[in-house]
Amino acid sequence: MDKYIKVRKIGEGSFGKAILVKAKEDGQQYVIKEINISKMSNKEREESRREVAVLANMKHPNIVLYRESFEENGCLYIVMDYCEGGDLFKKINAQKGILFSEDQILDWFVQICLALKHIHDRKILHRDIKSQNIFLTKDGTIQLGDFGIARVLNSTAELARTCIGTPYYLSPEICQNKPYNNKSDIWALGCVLYEMCTLKHAFEAGNMKNLVLKIISGPFPPVSMHYSYDLRNLLSQLFKRNPRNRPSVNSILEKNFIAKRVEKFLTPELIAEGFNHKIFHKFGPHASPAKRPVQEQTLTSVAPAQKITKPAAKYGVPLTIRKSCGVPKKPNEKKPLTKIRQVRIVGGWKFILEMQIISEVQ
């Protein structure tokens, strides 16, 4: 810590403090996350260190840049860029009920998707997507923060976090004690998109039990008809109760009305890097092995799906409710074994015939 001067504490997060600091070396402001690891088991502590090593390698214009990490007095410190524009939650509240334009929403949304794609393509789950973890830089660029850190927590800590923290983004599968997967991140992404469109949470209730019930089976108030069909339809896809029916971040980014915004935010090099491949990254127990170097697999957080909290059981909610809501189900939602995928490449569109069974998560 002696390289930094503490400016002020900016928050007490679910897994530690967030401190605004100034670096002695360059006078720049940074945020330091302080996580107490002294009470963790050796295994958890090791996992935290590995996890931080992964975070350190994440470099993307839409991801808050991690500068360095160190340990002192039983705490793990993670130094990251300070986002001067504040978070999306504050931005939404500052609207005082005046809706954002669709253009603004989609420009933000595509940047969040690009950050999530970068993470998911590397088989890392965010696990804590919420408007309070999405930041704006001074120039208005969106940056996703706080990813991966949640993974280092054990399930008890995660339950506490969910209950003390922000439970609005809990997905139906987590409410039903199923493992967290990439589509749980997509659910949370849907919650953020909904918030941007309505300035409200999609699922709200006076207590946790009713909230869990709503998430599992309740309706959400429709968004304004003032927004396009594409946008409203996308929301209903993100809010599919069955995670398998939610689109992956790659297929969201392939939708025309989203894809056309990508080049506004990525350099041609990054587009080429992220969009010019046909490997459909898979998660979970059905993920095909050895698509990536072994070392990378061991570093990331897909490995055995961690059973997390039992909020539904804890709050006495029956786990059998499976009523669907929102947009009616299409009669035949079977997936084709062969599928033509449209892949964006620099300078045009390319159609790739994938002879692969595309298995979505779980």
User: What is the set of active-site residues?
Assistant: 128
Decide which of ligand ADP, Mg ion, none touches 83; Cβ closer than 5 to 8 Å per partner kind: ligand ADP
278 labelled binding-site residue? no
**Cα separation, 169 vs 186, whole angstroms:** 10
Decide which of ligand ADP, Mg ion, none touches 158; Cβ closer than 5 to 8 Å per partner kind: none
Is 191 a binding residue for ligand ADP by CB under 6 A? The answer is: no
Q: Least distance (Å) from ligand ADP to the CB of residue 11?
A: 2
Decide which of Mg ion, ligand ADP, none touches 124; Cβ closer than 5 to 8 Å per partner kind: none
Candidates 7-15, 42-50, 274-282, 328-336: pick the segment binding ligand ADP (CB under 6 A): 7-15
CA-based end-to-end distance of the chain: 42
Candidates 13-21, 50-58, 229-237, 257-265: pick the segment binding ligand ADP (CB under 6 A): 13-21
Residue 272, CA distances (Å) to 79, 161, 276, 345, 348 in order: 30, 38, 5, 6, 11
Q: Is 265 exposed, middle or buried (0-12, 13-18, 19+ CB in 10 A)?
A: middle
Residue of 4, 66, 77, 82 that binds ligand ADP (CB under 6 A) = 82
Is 135 a binding residue for ligand ADP by CB under 6 A? The answer is: yes
Q: Least distance (Å) from ligand ADP to the CB of residue 80?
A: 5
Strand stretches in the chain, DSSP E: 4-13, 16-23, 29-36, 66-72, 75-81, 134-136, 142-144, 339-345, 348-354
Residues in contact with Mg ion by the rule CB under 5 A: 133, 146
**Cα separation, 254 vs 250, whole angstroms:** 6
- The interface with ligand ADP within residues 33-72 (CB under 6 A) comprises 64
Is 13 a binding residue for ligand ADP by CB under 6 A? The answer is: yes
Q: Least distance (Å) from ligand ADP to the CB of residue 23?
A: 14
Task: Give the single-character DSSP code of 10.
Answer: E
Decide which of ligand ADP, Mg ion, none touches 283; Cβ closer than 5 to 8 Å per partner kind: none
3 state SS of 203: coil
148 HSE (CA, 13 A, CB side): 29
Q: Which residues are within 8 A (CB) of 165 and not within 5 positions of it... i.e. 6 or more apart? A: 14
Q: Which is nearer to Mg ion, 16 or 274 (CB)?
A: 16
Candidates 77-85, 180-188, 267-275, 297-305: pick the segment binding ligand ADP (CB under 6 A): 77-85
